[in-house]
Amino acid sequence: MTAHGTSLPAETTLGTVALEQDAAALDEVWRDRPGFWGWLTAVDHKVIGKRYLITTFLMFLAGGIEAALMRTQLARPENTFLGPDKYNQLFTTHGTTMMFLFAVPMMNAMGIYFVPLMVGARSIAFPRLNAFGYWNYVVAVVFLYVSLFANTAPDAGWFAYVPLSGPAYSPGHRVDVWAQVVTFTEIAALVAAVNIIVTTFKMRAPGMSLNRIPLFVWAQLVVSFMIVFAMPSVAVGSTLMLAMDRAVNTHWFNYTEGGDVLLWQHIFWFFGHPEVYIIFLPALGFITPIVETFSRRKVFGYTALVMSNITTAFFAFGLWVHHMFATPIPELGQSLFTAASMLIAIPTAVQIFCWIATMWAGRLRFTTAILFILGFMFTFVNGGITGVMLASVAFDKQAHDTFFVVAHLHYVLLGGAVMPLFGAFYYWFPKITGRMLSETLGKWNFWLFVIGVNVTFFPMHILGLNGMPRRVYTYLAATGWGPLNLLATIGAVTIATSVLVFVINAISSWRSGEPAGEDPWGSSGLEWATSSPAPSYNFLHTPLVTSRHPLWDTTVEQPVVTGLATDHREVLITTAFDARPDARHEHPTGSIWPFYLALCMGVVFIGSIFSPYFVLGGLGLSMLGLFGWGWQGSRATGPEIVATPKSITEGI
């Protein structure tokens, strides 16, 4: 059909009905208030999303610095750079940061920023809740890092196995910090998940039926459901059981009083394994649009990709026991989890085959973004194969808790999540900032990263099989593990250099990069149908969707619907399956109460470490916030909703 030109003026893509007064009026209504107060009360999903992205990236840097310190300690045998106490705090903080404060919130942040844009919505479903989630997350960040500098960082591992993390063997408040940091991130993740689910189901542009949802959004939707089922498990485990064992002397995990040590592992991994896919599936969602755009071809196997996403999510809840193969669990039960663990490789394999087929039939343009996707394929498939090996009970009993697993999980998470994430940064940075990232620095970033990851983590496979357990602060020279560890440390320096290149690239490009225009890559998604960065109201007129690739399949002009109010915040609600216009909904304005409530949550959960009275006090204070939050008048709705051009209306 027709190529989508990159230089078409905004008026044409948005529809000729666009009026400048409308834009000004909408901006007046939708933008957040200026000044410090406005900064605290902001609810725009792009503002919150951007803050989320920056904070989570800072956490990535912090976790990386911790990793670098650990690699320095392990560079040679019997090093004394860090003692066991500091090392244990660092590896726990590294794991907690990367899993709870970087990976999950980063993926949520991408969803918060882009899902409303991709489904053509004015905003996210619950903007105040969204801000509340972000501030909760900030409380967790501040709490964990103040603790680290106060020598109170958790030191029982990010998995916090009892009894080591229990009151008898972890004195003081270190593990309490872990339990409550996890609580805040659970709240933040659940809030983001609910928001993304409702936005996807009820706020899609008219015409975007379920089978036209972009794969990025599908991945976010599936993952949000996973969050809703997985997070409560660890919430019960950490906030309720572990924290109560430690603070008020319950006996959930005290085996002499009828508690059970293994119970913790079940609860933790019932969350912990889906967690991996909560991180990984959104990354797969980044890949499809990037591959499509740079292959200049619609993705092969849309249905297969969606089904793979959903299947992966289902299986992900059925294989947590493969983290516990060394515990006394009956053979038959272990076999079931082996089968499930191998099974989950199938949908992932199908997805990779689909992308390769897309590239094959397309014509690839080698940008940094697509290079990172190719890097993903080589690195992730390696991690996937070691994953299948680890699914085998017999082999896992050898490799479990060794550096082989460290290698596997970093191949999977760096290869499967971080590389697509970097690809996504290069791809969507123009949409967020309005400027392009430098491709030259990007190539440096990519090659250093791929080489660094492999040099760091490949030797760890061999180290693990040679008997090096995980979480050791040092090792004896006689073990012969020295040279490979040194190599891994050199690789870690390479990764650090690569990330530094990215930081320099991001800062300099944000300031003075090449202006991007609204659609620099000639992409197909709705997020490219508005200016870069998108205005506070996202789209001047809500777009009307007639295919899976709106910008590629639109011949003349982007059809739109008009009629939403311009004098106050109003959004269009559509039906869940076919996205027919269903209702119009008054949208909340900026508010200080989310921030206030997050602080109350801080009082509740951080205070609970010291005294149960903080819980009561904090909940009391939060009542005020809830009243304030709910206090809102009602308004008349706008004029009638009209689709333009008329001819399209019959099509939906």
Partner 1 sequence: MHSFFNPTSPQARAVAHLWWWMLGVGGVIWIGVAAIAVYAALANGGHRESDDLQHVSPDTHSRMERVVGVAGFATVLVLVGFLIYDFAVGRALAQHPQRGLTIQITGQQWWWEVEYESPDPSQRLVTANEIHIPVGEPVQFKLRAADVIHSFWAPNLNGKRDLIPGYMSTIWFKADTAGVYRGQCAEFCGLQHAKMAFYIVADPRPKFNAWYAASSQPHQTPTDSTLLYGQRVFMTSGCAVCHTISGTQAQSNVGPSLSHLESRSTIAAGTLANNHANLMGWIVNPQAIKPGTRMPAIPLEPNQLTALVAYLESLK
Partner 2 sequence: MSRRLSNHRVWMLAALIVSGVACEREERRLNEPPPQPPVTFVSQSPLQPGPNVVTDTAEGPFDDNAFGTMQGQQLFTQMNCTGCHANGGGAMGPPLMDDEWIYGSNPNQIFASIAEGRANGMPSWKYKLTNEQIWQLVAYVRSLSGLTPKGARPSRDDHMMVKPAPSQTPNAKPKNTGLPGSSQRP
Q: In the window 477-506, what residues touch partner 1 (CB under 8 A)? A: 479
Q: Which two tokens stand for residue 631?
A: 């206090």
**One of 4, 94, 174, 541 touching partner 2 (CB under 8 A):** 174
Give the nearest distance from C-beta 254 to partner 1 in angstroms: 9
Q: How far apart are the first and last CA of the chain?
A: 21
Toward partner 1, which CB reaches closer, 60 or 87? 87
**One of 55, 295, 532, 566 touching partner 1 (CB under 8 A):** 295
Q: Which two tokens stand for residue 440?
A: 């030259």
Binding site partner of 152, from partner 1, partner 2, none, Cβ cut-off 5-8 A by kind: partner 2
Binding site partner of 151, from partner 2, partner 1, none, Cβ cut-off 5-8 A by kind: partner 2
**One of 54, 146, 623, 626 touching partner 2 (CB under 8 A):** 146
| Total of residues contacting partner 2 (CB under 8 A) | 29
Residues 249-278 that bind partner 1 (CB under 8 A): 255-256, 260-262
Quote the crossing angle between the two packed helices 45-74 and 419-433, to the nearest 10°.
Answer: 140
Which residue intervals of 75-173 are DSSP H helices? 84-96, 104-118, 127-149
Toward partner 2, which CB reaches closer, 62 or 421? 62
Give the nearest distance from C-beta 143 to partner 2 in angstroms: 11
Toward partner 1, which CB reaches closer, 151 or 335? 335
Quote the crossing angle between the two packed helices 482-512 and 45-74, to the nearest 10°.
Answer: 150
The helix/strand/coil state of 370 is helix
**One of 23, 65, 77, 152 touching partner 2 (CB under 8 A):** 152
Quick count: other Cβ atoms within 10 Å of Cβ 384? 20
User: Does 331 interact with partner 2 (rule: CB under 8 A)?
Assistant: no
Answer yes or no: are the C-beta atoms of 507 and 442 closer than 8 Å.
no
Interface mask toward partner 1 for 542-561; x: CB under 8 A: ----------x---------
Give the nearest distance from C-beta 10 to partner 2 in angstroms: 38
Give the nearest distance from C-beta 261 to partner 2 in angstroms: 9
| Total of residues contacting partner 1 (CB under 8 A) | 90
Strands 560-562 and 570-574: unpaired
User: Does 35 interact with partner 2 (rule: CB under 8 A)?
Assistant: no
**One of 168, 349, 385, 583 touching partner 2 (CB under 8 A):** 168
Gap between the Cα atoms of 185 and 163, Å rounded: 23
Give the nearest distance from C-beta 616 to partner 1 in angstroms: 34
Binding site partner of 302, from partner 2, partner 1, none, Cβ cut-off 5-8 A by kind: none
Residues 299-328 that bind partner 1 (CB under 8 A): 300-301, 304, 326-328
Q: Which two tokens stand for residue 18?
A: 């666009």
User: Does 246 interact with partner 2 (rule: CB under 8 A)?
Assistant: yes
Tell me which amino acid residue 590 is: G
Paired residues of 570 in beta bridges: 586
Q: Which two tokens stand for residue 321?
A: 């026991």
Q: Is the dihedral of CA 304, 310, 312, 314 positive or negative?
A: negative
Interface mask toward partner 1 for 329-368; x: CB under 8 A: --x--xx--xx--xx-xx--xx-xxx-xx-xxxxxxxx--
User: Does 83 interact with partner 2 (rule: CB under 8 A)?
Assistant: yes
Contact range with partner 2 by CB under 8 A, out of 48-56, 251-259, 339-347, 455-463: 251-259
| Phi, psi values for residue 581, rounded to 5° | -55, 135
User: Does 284 interact with partner 1 (rule: CB under 8 A)?
Assistant: no
Residues 604-643 that bind partner 2 (CB under 8 A): 610
Toward partner 1, which CB reaches closer, 395 or 447? 395
Residues 254-273 that bind partner 2 (CB under 8 A): 254-257
Give the nearest distance from C-beta 610 to partner 2 in angstroms: 7
How far from 171 is each of 156, 238, 504, CA to CA, in Å?
A: 11, 16, 42
How far from 70 is each of 49, 86, 272, 370, 472, CA to CA, in Å?
A: 31, 10, 23, 32, 10
Buried b (16+ CB within 10 A) or exposed e, 614-646: beeebeebbeebeeebeeeeeeebeeeeebbee
Q: Is the dihedral of CA 316, 321, 326, 332 positive or negative?
A: negative
Residues 120-179 that bind partner 1 (CB under 8 A): 156-157, 161, 163-164, 168-169
CA angle 174, 175, 181 (to 5 degrees): 100
Binding site partner of 487, from partner 2, partner 1, none, Cβ cut-off 5-8 A by kind: none
Neighbouring residues of 616: CB distance < 8 A, sequence distance ≥ 6 = none
Which residue intervals of 8-44 are DSSP H helices? 10-14, 20-30, 35-41
Binding site partner of 483, from partner 2, partner 1, none, Cβ cut-off 5-8 A by kind: none
Peptide bond into 645 cis (omega under 30): yes
Give the nearest distance from C-beta 92 to partner 2 in angstroms: 13
User: Does 171 interact with partner 2 (rule: CB under 8 A)?
Assistant: yes
User: Does 85 interact with partner 2 (rule: CB under 8 A)?
Assistant: yes
Return residues touching partner 2 (CB under 8 A). 83-85, 146-147, 149-152, 163, 166-169, 171-174, 245-249, 251, 254-257, 610
